[in-house]
Amino acid sequence: MGVDFMEMGKNDLTYSKQELPSENSIPQTSKKRSKKKVFIFLGIFILIAPIMILVGEFLGFISAFGFFKGGEAKDIPRNVQEVGPIIKMQPLTVNLKEESGRNYLRITVALEIGNKKFVDEVQSKMTQLTDLLITILCEKRLDDLKQPNFKEELKKEFLEKVTTHFPEGQIRQVLFEEFIYQ
């Protein structure tokens, strides 16, 4: 029952020259199509090339005459202050002014000092500053804390009251490192 593939292949795969397709039997439509594609491509190129040249010349012309030039850079005076020394206060947890007494605020404040020479003076009065901050915070309600600009108002209020203990400018800025309420 064995099949001899070698014998079968010799007879089936041989063709005579008459059976192979000739070059003349290839349809003429494919040659015409390739010529059409070449002409279409050349036509598009001939149309687009002059447009691109004109655009390039136009851009070169307007850039040569300074239409795209920005003005010369001007020195703009800036009011940039260097950051002064920062003193971090101890974290505080304060009960808010609520009838239930269940709400509190946990806050950590840092103070930017106006000049290095004032650092020792501010640190020596840290107890008074902490007391002042606790006094301000104990008067706040939970609804106050939920206001959109409450933090900025609190910074401003604290800074205004601090100036009673220090000359203006010694404490430049009040910063919050932690601000959690419940």
DSSP state of 116: G
CATH superfamily of 86-181: Band 7 domain (3.30.479.30)
Per-residue pLDDT of the chain (182 residues; tens, 9 = 90+): 555 555 555 555 555 555 555 555 555 566 677 788 888 888 888 888 888 888 888 887 777 776 666 556 566 666 666 888 899 999 999 999 888 878 899 999 999 988 888 888 889 989 999 999 999 999 999 999 899 999 999 999 999 888 887 777 788 889 999 999 88
pLDDT at site 23? 54
- Choose among 150, 145, 47: nearest CA to 95: 145
Token pair, residue 145, equals 């804390």
The dihedral formed by the CA atoms of 26, 27, 30 and 36, expressed in degrees to the nearest 10: 130
For residues 142 and 103, the answer to whether their CB atoms sit within 8 Å is yes
CA atoms of 90 and 94, how far apart (whole Å): 12
pTM of the model as a whole: 0.54
- Domain spans in the chain, listed from the N-terminal domain onward: 27-64, 86-181
CA-nearest of 151, 119, 122 to 137 is 151
Q: Which residues, 6+ apart, have CB-to-CB distance to 75 below 8 Å? A: none
- Residue 126's contacts (CB-CB under 8 Å, 6 or more residues apart) are 87, 89
